[in-house]
């Protein structure tokens, strides 16, 4: 079964608004990563947060990690139409592999 579960499954917002996606996982992790996938293309790495970190920023992205709740959130601020994509969390559980969730489909309307 999949490690990460994203919530919501789909999100539709207006350009300029913030988008928040959540990810829950089941086991202890080394790190958690977020990826973006534009329609029909390969996944692109966005940001990585290690198990001993609680928050990380990269440009308009903010990721938080709560290991006690086994959950993470990805915040995209001031969204743009170009942010329309699917977003996946992936967990590294020390097992030499990344396990992905089912993803959140984000639509940013201009």
Partner 1 sequence: NAGVTQTPKFQVLKTGQSMTLQCAQDMNHEYMSWYRQDPGMGLRLIHYSVGAGITDQGEVPNGYNVSRSTTEDFPLRLLSAAPSQTSVYFCASWDAGRRSEKLFFGSGTQLSVL
- Could you say whether residue 76 binds partner 1 (CB under 8 A)? no
Among 39, 42, 68, 110, binds partner 1 (CB under 8 A): 42
Among 91, 103, 106, 108, binds partner 1 (CB under 8 A): 103
Question: If you count DSSP H runs as helices and E runs as strands, how many of each does the chain have, helices first?
Answer: 0, 11
Name the phi and psi angles at 22, rounded to 5.
-120, 155
Give every CB contact of residue 87 below 8 A, 6+ residues apart in sequence.
Answer: 6, 21, 34, 35, 36, 37, 46, 74, 103, 104, 106
Tokens 């089912």 map to which residue? 102
Q: Report how far residue 91's alpha carbon sits from residue 5's, in angstroms, rounded to the nearest whole number.
A: 10
Q: How far is the CB of 4 from partner 1 (least distance, A)?
A: 8
- The nearer residue to partner 1, 76 or 99, going by C-beta atoms, is 99
Q: Report how far residue 38's alpha carbon sits from residue 15's, in angstroms, rounded to the nearest whole number.
A: 17
Q: How far is the CB of 93 from partner 1 (least distance, A)?
A: 12
Among 65, 76, 90, 108, binds partner 1 (CB under 8 A): 90
- Could you say whether residue 23 binds partner 1 (CB under 8 A)? no
Binding site for partner 1 (CB under 8 A): 2, 4, 9, 31, 33, 35, 40-45, 48, 88, 90, 92, 96-103
């Amino acid at each position: 079964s999949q490690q990460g579960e994203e919530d919501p499954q789909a999100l539709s917002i207006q350009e300029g608004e913030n988008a928040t996606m959540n990810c829950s996982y089941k086991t202890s992790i080394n790190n958690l990563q977020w990826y973006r996938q534009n329609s029909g293309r390969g996944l692109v790495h966005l940001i990585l947060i290690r198990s001993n970190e609680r928050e990380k920023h990269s440009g308009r992205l903010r990721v938080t990690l709560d290991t006690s709740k086994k959950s993470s959130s990805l915040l995209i601020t001031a969204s743009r139409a170009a942010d329309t994509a699917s977003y996946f969390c992936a967990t590294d559980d020390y097992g030499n592999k990344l396990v992905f969730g089912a993803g959140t489909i984000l639509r940013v309307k201009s």
